[in-house]
Every structure is written in structure tokens, then in C-alpha cells.
A and B are shown apart, each in its own frame.
Chain A
Amino acid sequence: MKPFIEKCAEKGFLFSAIVSASITILILSFMIFFSFPIFKAGDIAAFFTLEWNPYEGKFGILPMMAGTGIIASLALFIATPFGIGCSAIISVFSKGSSGRFLRKVVEFMTGIPTVIYGFVAIFLLVPFIREIFKKGTGMCVLSASIMLAILILPTIVLFLSDAFNSVPKSYIDAADSLGATPAQKLVYVIIPYAWKGIISGLVLAAGRAVGDTLIALMIAGNALQIPTGLDDAARTLTSHIALIIASDYESPEFKSIFLCGLILFAFTILIVLIMRSLGYFKILGKR
């Protein structure tokens, strides 16, 4: 091919890569640009207060931060033991047909749309939770956490079973020749070796749990309060963005969603940095 075309093609590839990278920068700069009036007015502290009451001019986003924190950590708390259990089956206890079947099932779960999890939860899980608590609508922190746990479980299981499989075969052989049972191998050999992978999988799952919109929006109840119990309704940062979007462009409510966006973006940066410090340089999880 002519050198001219070679040069053009190379420039074209470079240009596309710059465009892709600049999308990230563009997202961040739009967040900053639209929340800039808040910083300039100097009333940033007012947004980090407890109360959200537009009629009195109070736009605290602390309830949403609390909602996100509580729902996401509860989901992680529920999903972690199940995740470790399932990945132990896949890579330690059953290398045969049932382990492969379980892995297939988990892989399939990553392909199920989030909105379907939410839809089914409304008519299957929420009435059940309502019966248990005997009050409210059943749309509460607990329902959202359970559903979110199911949503992030595939991320945990796939990441952890890869981490478990990365243990060198010689280690496993050594344990086997000493007569270790699968449970002993898991506790004494595999988990100590793969702890970095385990932490990374959980960090990635935490990122997904915080970033997910639909589950919390559909079944957490969206109440503007700091939840005090499992049966309280709550609102997350993500669902707050989705709910406020329709209002007036110049209002403080509207500016506050960009502040929520900035917080979520900062959290993403944190996740990526943690993943890198643990040795994972190319991260691709489903959001």
C-alpha cells in the first residue's frame, strides 16, 4: 500500500483512540461545568446536609449518600459468602459437570437485563418482604439489597473462580500429595494464594452495586430520608439522578444531581485505582 495511505490510516487510528479517551474527560468536564455554579456560590456545604426540602430551599444529598452506602454494602455483605461458595464449587469442589453447569448458569446471568430483575422483584420479592415486615409497601432497603446481591453475584463468582484457578498447579499437587481434602485445599492453599483476586473481585462488585440505577429506583422506595432499618425506604445517588432529571434546568435541585454525578465519578476513580494497586490493569465488568 502507498506510504500516504499508511500514514493516513495510522493518524485515523490515533484519532479514534483520542476520541475514545476524551469521552471520559468530557463526561468529567460536563459534571464539573454544570455543578460549577454551586462551587462558585460557595454554598457547597449546604448540599452535604441531612435535609432535602425544595420548598424551604434545602437540598442536602446526604440521605442519598447514606442510601447508596447502606444498600450497596448490605448487597455486598449478602453476596460475598454466596460468591465464595459458588466459585469454590466451580474451581475446587467440582471440576466436573456440576461445576461447569454452575459456571454456565452464572455466565448466563450476566446477560439478563437489569430491568427484568427489577420487574420480577416487584411482583415476586416485594410482596414477600411486605408479608415479613407487615408494614409499608415492601419497597425497602432489604428488598433492594437482596436483588442487588443477585445482580452482582455473577461479577463476584466469575472473578473469584478465575482467581482460584490462577493458583499454580504445583501448589495444588503438593497439597494433594499431602492428602489434603478439597476443603483444606481451599482454606490453606487457595484462599491465602488468591486473596488479591478475591479483594479485587469484591471491589469490582462494590463498584457495580454503587453504580446500578434500576434496582434501587424500582424497589428501594425512593423516600428522601436516611434509612434507619431494613424495612425503611431509601433513595440512592443513582436513582436520585434519574428522578430529578425532569425538573427545571436552573434550579438548585437540578444542580445537585451533577454533584451526585461528581461523587459517583470520584468513586469510580477510587475503584479503578484500587484495582490497579492490586495488579489488575485492564478492568472490564458489566455495569
Chain B
Amino acid sequence: MNRFIQYSITFFAWISGIILVASLTLLLAFLIYKGIGSLNLFLIFGETKPMDVLLMRKEVLDGLFPAIVGTILLITASIVWAIPIGVASGIYLAEYCNLRWKPFFNFMLDLLAGVPSILVGLFGFSLSIFLHRHLSEHIYPCFLISSMALACLVLPYIIRTTEQALVNLPFSVKTTGLALGASRLQNILFILIPYNLSRIISGIILAIGRCAEDTAVIMLTGVVAMAGIPHSLLAKYEALPFYIFYISSDYNSQEELMKGFGACIILLAVCAVFFTLANILKRKAEIRFATRL
């Protein structure tokens, strides 16, 4: 290979790295430049006094407050669905599943992890039609359906991190408890899980971040642009990512657009915090292994 080709390969690699960093910087700088001016209490609470809102005396009509609360409630509900099923499935795959069934579960989970999120949304939507026809006339796409569909979306993340956290333990850790007479369940609950808890939690936090940012699932399962804070599980609701999507196609004034940019910054900050937290926990788990082994 002659010099020139070598130099051009190296040059191209560095250029692509620089373009990547530059385009990301441009994107974030543009967002912050446009949105920083609208970041204040008015953006969140509108004309209403913050104290009145927090004490639930008044509803916010022109602020982001209902969307933020909607997103928080949605995350909580989905995670409440997903954690028990996800962690339990992860434990089953890591500790109990025999080799005959493992390929089946792996294939199904790979598929679930790979299905486009809009299909998970479509699934939630068709589930609500199905329940509407066969169970109760009152069921439409709503908060409950959304949280269930979102739980399906993040389930593979929780299952896989739990499984990995348990499988990748050193042999000595896995067997010491059993050698001392602990039962299989005791070994899992009191030794294996506590030993690698931070890794499991990092998976859960990553799942929370996915719940916070997802738009495709919720736009099919009951999120709307104006609903206020949901008062029941069967009510429509607002959410931050959908608000951003809605504003982008349907803004009436420059002011509304600025609110969209403000909402973007809030959502980005929330996701960045979750993401960093998950990574810190993951790194902590890795470092602990490196030093103990």
C-alpha cells in the first residue's frame, strides 16, 4: 500500500470523527441557543402561581406542567409493570432455564428487543380495541394501555441486564453460598443479586430513560396534546416527548415554538441525567469486578 493511500485512510478516519463531533455540537448548540431564553418558571407553570399548582388548587393551562407530570407518572407506571416481570425473567434465564428451552426464550427476547417501537405501539392500540370489544365499552387508548405497552418496550433491557449481571459472576461467588448450605433461592436472593445489584439497577435506569424519551409507542396508545393531569388510569394524558412532536408540526406562534425548544432542553437534560447515572453504576460494577478478581 503506498503512502498516499495510507495517509488518505488516516485522514478520512479523523475527518469522520471530527464531522461527528461537530454535527453533534452544532445540534446541541442550536438547541440551547434557541431554547435557553424560554427556560423559566413561566415555561412550566404558565400564568398560574407555582404554589397553587403544586398544592393542586389550580390547573396549569398554558405551561408544560401537565406534560412533565404525565411523563413522570407514565415512567413510574411502566417501570412498576416491567421491574418484577423483567427481573424475575432474568433470574429464570440465568439460573433455572435448561438448555432445551433457552434458545426459544433467547429468540423471543431478541425479537421483542428488535421489533420497531411503532409495532409495540400498534400492539397496545389493538389491545385496547380488543378489550373495548370484548371486555368493557369504557376502554379506549389510555394511560393504562400506554404504560403496559411501554413496559413491553423496555422489558428486554431489564431482562438482559439482570441475566448478564447474574451470569457473569465469578465461579467462586456463585458457589460459596451453595457450599455453605444455602438453598438455590437463598443463594440468588442473598448473595448473587446483592453482589451485582448496581449492574441490575443500571439496566433499570436505562429502561427509565427509554420510557422518558419514547414517542412512537405513546402516540398510538392515548397521549394527546391537551388533557391536563390524568385523573384515572383510563384517562388520556400529556407527555413531554409528544408535546415536542406536536409543537413541531402544529405551532401557531413564535412563542409556542420557543416553548417547544424549552421542552426539548428539559427532556434532553432528564435523559442525560438518567443516562449518566446508569453509566456510573455500570462502571462501578465493572471496577468492583476488576479489583476483586
* Set of chain A residues within 8 Å of B106, measured between Cβ atoms: 281-282
What residues on A are CB-neighbors of B267 within 8 Å? 113, 115-116
**Among B6, B108, B117, B153, contact of A184 (Cβ-Cβ < 8 Å):** B6
**Is there an interface contact between B114 and A207, defined as CB atoms closer than 8 Å?**
yes
A93 to B14, alpha carbons, bound, how many Å?
A: 9
How far apart sit A234 and B120, CA to CA, in the bound complex (Å)?
Answer: 23
Q: Which residue of B lies closest to A15 (CB)?
A: B88
Contacts of B7 in A (CB 8 A): 183
Is A269 on the interface with B (CB-CB < 8 A)? yes
Chain B nearest CB, measured from A285 CB (Å): 7
Interface of B is mostly: helix
- Whether A6 is near chain B, meaning CB under 8 Å from some CB there, is yes
Q: Which of A1-52 contact B (CB under 8 A)?
A: 1, 5-6, 9-10, 12-17, 19-21, 23-27, 30-31, 33-34
A119 to B259, CA, bound (A): 12
In the complex the two chains form, what is the Cα distance from A69 to B260 in whole Å? 31
CB contact between B9 and one of A15, A114, A124, A186 (< 8 Å): that residue: A186
**Chain A residues within 8 Å of B213, by CB:** 113-115
Q: Choose one: A89, A123, A188; the contact of B13 (CB below 8 Å).
A: A89
Contact code string B276-293 (vs A, CB < 8 Å = 1, else 0): 000100000000000000
Q: A19-B85, A21-B104, A114-B215 are in contact. Are A89 and B117 (CB under 8 A)?
A: no
In-complex Cβ contact of B115 among A27, A114, A116, A214 (8 A): A27
Q: Would you call A116 and B268 a contact (CB within 8 A)?
A: yes
The answer, among A10, A84, A102, A181, for a CB contact under 8 Å with B20, is: A102
Check B184 against A6 for contact (C-beta < 8 Å).
yes
Contact present for B215 and A13 (CB under 8 Å): no
Determine the chain A residues whose CB is within 8 A of the CB of B136 once the complex forms.
none
The verdict on A229 contacting chain B, using a C-beta distance below 8 Å, is no
Determine whether the beta carbon of A242 is less than 8 Å from that of B118. Answer: yes
A10–B96 CB distance below 8 A:
yes
Asked if A153 is at the interface (CB within 8 A of a chain B CB), the reply is yes
Counting CB contacts under 8 A, is A201 at the interface? Answer: no
Residue A175 lies at the interface, judged by CB distance under 8 Å to chain B: no
Contact A245:B125 (CB < 8 A) given known A184-B6, A213-B118: yes
Q: Judging by beta carbons under 8 Å apart, are B108 and A24 in contact?
A: yes
A218 at the interface (CB under 8 A from B): yes
Q: Beyond A93-B10, A116-B244, A242-B220, is A16–B85 a contact (Cβ under 8 Å)?
A: yes
CA distance A187 to B12 in the complex (A): 13
Instruction: Mark A residues whose CB is within 8 Å of B.
Output: 1, 5-6, 9-10, 12-17, 19-21, 23-27, 30-31, 33-34, 81-82, 84-86, 88-89, 92-93, 98, 102, 105-120, 122-124, 150, 153, 181-184, 186-188, 207, 210-214, 218, 238, 241-242, 245, 249, 257-258, 261, 264-265, 268-269, 271-272, 275-276, 281-287
Q: How far is the CB of A269 from chain B (nearest CB, A)?
A: 7
Interface Cβ pair total, 8 Å cutoff: 260
CA distance A241 to B220 in the complex (A): 9
Asked if B12 contacts A269 (CB within 8 A), the reply is no
- The contact sample of 16 A-B pairs, CB cut-off 8 A, is A1-B185, A13-B92, A14-B96, A20-B89, A30-B130, A88-B13, A89-B14, A116-B264, A118-B245, A119-B264, A183-B9, A212-B116, A258-B126, A264-B119, A283-B114, A284-B156
CB-CB < 8 A to B272: which residues of A? 108, 111
Give B residues with C-beta under 8 Å from A. 1, 5-7, 9-10, 12-17, 19-21, 23-24, 26-27, 30-31, 34, 84-86, 88-89, 91-93, 95-97, 104-123, 125-127, 129-130, 152-153, 155-157, 159-160, 183-186, 209-210, 212-213, 215-216, 219-220, 241, 244-245, 247-249, 260-261, 264, 267-268, 271-272, 274-275, 279
Interface centre among B16, B113, B272 (most CB of A within 10 A): B16
In contact, A218 and B112 (Cβ under 8 angstroms): no
Cβ–Cβ contact B157 & A284, under 8 A: yes
Measured in the bound complex, the distance between the Cα atoms of B129 and A197 in whole Å is: 42
Cβ of A32 to closest chain B Cβ, rounded Å: 11
Q: Which residue of A16, A150, A284 is within 8 Å of B92 (Cβ)?
A: A16
B112 → chain A, closest Cβ, in Å?
Answer: 5
Given contacts A124-B30, A268-B115, contact A23 B152 (CB under 8 A): yes
Q: Are A187 and B215 in contact (CB under 8 A)?
A: no
Pick the contact of A21: B105, B115, B210, B249 (CB < 8 A). Answer: B105
A66 to B259, CA, bound (A): 36
- B129 engages A249 (CB within 8 Å): yes
Contact A20 B109 (CB under 8 A): yes
Instruction: Report chain A residues within 8 Å CB of B104.
Output: 21
Specify which chain A residues have a CB less than 8 angstroms from the CB of B14 in the assembled complex.
85, 89, 93
